[in-house]
Amino acid sequence: MSTEFVFTSGSVTCGHPDKLCDRVSDAIVDRTLMQDPASRVEAECAVSGGVLFIASRSHTRASVDLADTARQVVAECGYRSGAFNARDCSVMISQSDHHRAGAPRIDLATLSESQAGEIPAGHQLTLFGYACRQSANLMPLPVALAHAMSQTLDALIADNTLESLAPDAQVQVGVIYRDRRPVGIHSITLLTSRRDADRPPAASLRDELVQRVIEPVLNENDLTASSGMQTIVNPEGLLVGGGPAMHSGLTGRKIGIDTYGEYSRQSGTALSGKDPLRIERIGTYAARHAAKQVVAARLAEECEIQLSYAIGRAVPVGLRVHTYGTGRMDDDALTRLVAEVFDFRPGVICKRFRLQTLPQERGGFFKGLAVYGQLGRTDMDLPWERLDQLDALQQSG
């Protein structure tokens, strides 16, 4: 019996207050690691009205100007004038020494893989990785399309192609599924903020957004707008200004956008603003890495990997693979195979992905992850998106 349903996922531009906070938090992580890769750092941000607040804990040899970092990010996100802007916003800061909370500096470059493998998880956590054949990047189709459209919107805002647009915008994509396979686009909704209430006319802006955002992304994904597809632009009317002047933002509030658009399970903890030895961050990357390899190796059409960690232990206390009945072998056998091929110890993950040194090598790294999703990205060379374990899986499987 066929089961049909509609599933929606969303994405937001970098000027959305929540994503602005994520970018500030990850920019602080980047700047800290660029000076001292062994740093332990946690940075959270909140913004509302004309005030941006940063709470940072670190154990580091780095010296980072947090206010300057925040103002640069605010300017990069398009807030250079208006009610909230990089120059005039108030930046409030609370800093403390994270070492007192038991997070010593750890330089993985000086450790062997065996030594790195002894580093325990610092938190109790269950997290998930997922991959499927719905899109070229093996991500659920709704969130893949939503991210592509929000990235396209940001490009139009940044180069002033649509000069009326302000930085704060949202995208929602609804996909029709039949038997857990996408069969069509149900709806696409764009919510954009504007600098000017008078121009251009709403109908003209709608046409521009359809032509410059929706149609190009559908074409790039070999999709076409069906006759029944709903295209909705600013259904609640004009939003002038937008951004922190109108609604607040907080680091870690958009976890679904950061991961799988709620199509798959996710942990309840934020990814942004945390150094790469935090298990919620690297564990999520490692679980995605393994799930993607399983699907790319054609051992399953879709795959979810669950990892459960306990405080003070390096090896996950729980590992489970679920393929929704699409596996080439049963889930128990695939769980054993994944456990054999992949090492999910925190220190080993961080060392193999070289996450402590990537900000230094690339002149920043984590800030780029803070918007358009931290998984499934094709515009960044991400270690957890590389298909580097296919031979090991195929030979063992």
Show me where the domains of the chain are located.
Answer: 4-12+140-245, 17-105, 125-133+252-396
Q: How does pLDDT run across 106-123, given as a tens digit for each residue?
A: 999 999 999 999 999 999
Whether 74 has a pLDDT exceeding 60, the answer reads: yes
The domain at 125-133+252-396 falls in which architecture?
2-Layer Sandwich (3.30)
Mean pLDDT, range 326-345, rounded to an integer: 97
pLDDT reading at 397 higher than 70: no
Question: Quick check: 102 pLDDT over 60?
Answer: no
User: pLDDT of 246-299, one tens digit each?
Assistant: 999 999 999 999 999 999 999 989 999 999 999 999 999 999 999 999 999 999
Sheet containing strand 51-59, strands side by side: 90-97, 51-59, 40-48, 249-250
Average pLDDT rounded to a whole number, residues 57-63:
94
Q: What is the mean pLDDT of residues 292-320?
A: 97
Whether 252 and 29 have beta carbons less than 8 Å apart is answered as no
* Paired residues of 175 in beta bridges: 7, 185
Residue 238, pLDDT above cutoff 90: no
Residue range 4-12+140-245 in CATH 1.20.140.10: no
Q: What is the CATH number of domain 17-105?
A: 3.30.300.10
* Total-model pTM: 0.95
> What pLDDT does residue 196 have?
78
| Phi, psi (deg, nearest 5) at residue 52 | -120, 125
Per-residue pLDDT band at 127 (split at 50, 70, 90): very high
pLDDT for res 201:
77
Give pLDDT tens digits for 178-229.
Answer: 999 999 999 999 999 988 777 777 788 899 999 999 999 999 998 877 778 9
3-state SS of the chain: helix, strand, coil percent to 5? 35, 25, 40
Residue 144 has pLDDT above 60, yes or no: yes
49 vs 55: CA distance, rounded Å = 18
Q: Binning pLDDT at 50, 70 and 90, where does residue 101 land? A: very low
Q: 31-35, 53-57, 74-78, 389-393: which has the minimum mean pLDDT? A: 389-393
Domains 4-12+140-245 and 17-105 share a fold: yes
Q: What is the mean pLDDT of residues 350-365?
A: 97
Q: Are 118 and 277 in contact (CB under 8 A)?
A: no
Residue 236: per-residue pLDDT: 85
- Give pLDDT, residue 99: 54
Least confident of 132-136, 179-183, 315-319: 179-183
